[in-house]
Amino acid sequence: METDHKIAFGGGCHWCTEAVYKSLKGIISVEQGFVASEGEESSFSEAVIVHYDHRGISMEDLILIHLFTHKSTSAHSMRKKYRSAIYTFNTTDYEKSNLALQKFQENFKSPLVTKVLPFREFKISDKAFQDYYYKNPYKPFCKTHIAPKIKLLLLKFADKVDHIKVLDQ
């Protein structure tokens, strides 16, 4: 049985999104960069591709974490650069992701703006920006924008966090 599954997420800065997913159990790897879908969403937007072992963490858990770690209910002016999206690689995950969004809406007072989109293309970030948080945890950007997301993970999703990696910071 295959254990390496993948799904992509966009919503905020890809440095932040990468740090969130690299902090979780069951994650095989995270590719940081820019994802494009189709139609109106064919432009590239900051995102990550998450490779995970479904025995260690479920796709539904990854989606719920995504919704809580970016402004998933805000249609702010930077949504073209920071598209709130779940990018899927097959129709089964597309359908499961849509069902998960419907289910998880009850956790939010405002409507979710996150879309489920088919993955089309990926461009990886410059090497200098990959693994940004874990290379630079004390830089002002990391302390201001990423550290609060890691703290939220520890408070809300503690059973999903790779505590050894996170607590080494």
- What per-residue confidence (pLDDT) applies to 134? 93
CA 47/CA 34 separation, integer angstroms: 5
Kindly tell me if the per-residue pLDDT of 152 is higher than 90: yes
Name every residue whose Cβ is closer than 8 Å to that of residue 135 and which is 6 or more positions away in sequence: none
Check residue 149 and report its DSSP letter: H
Number of domains in the chain: 1
Render pLDDT for 31-76 as a digit per residue (tens, 0 to 9): 999 999 999 999 999 999 999 999 999 999 999 999 999 999 998 7
Residue 67's closest CA among 146, 139, 153? Answer: 153
- What per-residue confidence (pLDDT) applies to 169? 53
Q: What is the CATH number of the domain that holds 22?
A: 3.30.1060.10
Q: How confident is the model at residue 1 (pLDDT cuts 50, 70, 90)?
A: very low
Residue 111 contacts residue 29 (beta carbons within 8 Å): no
Q: How confident is the model at residue 168 (pLDDT cuts 50, 70, 90)?
A: low
CA 159/CA 165 separation, integer angstroms: 14
Q: Hey, is 50 helix, strand or coil?
A: strand
Render pLDDT for 78-134 as a digit per residue (tens, 0 to 9): 878 899 999 999 999 999 999 999 999 999 999 999 999 999 999 999 999 999 999
Domain that holds residue 41: 4-167
Q: How confident is the model at residue 2 (pLDDT cuts 50, 70, 90)?
A: low
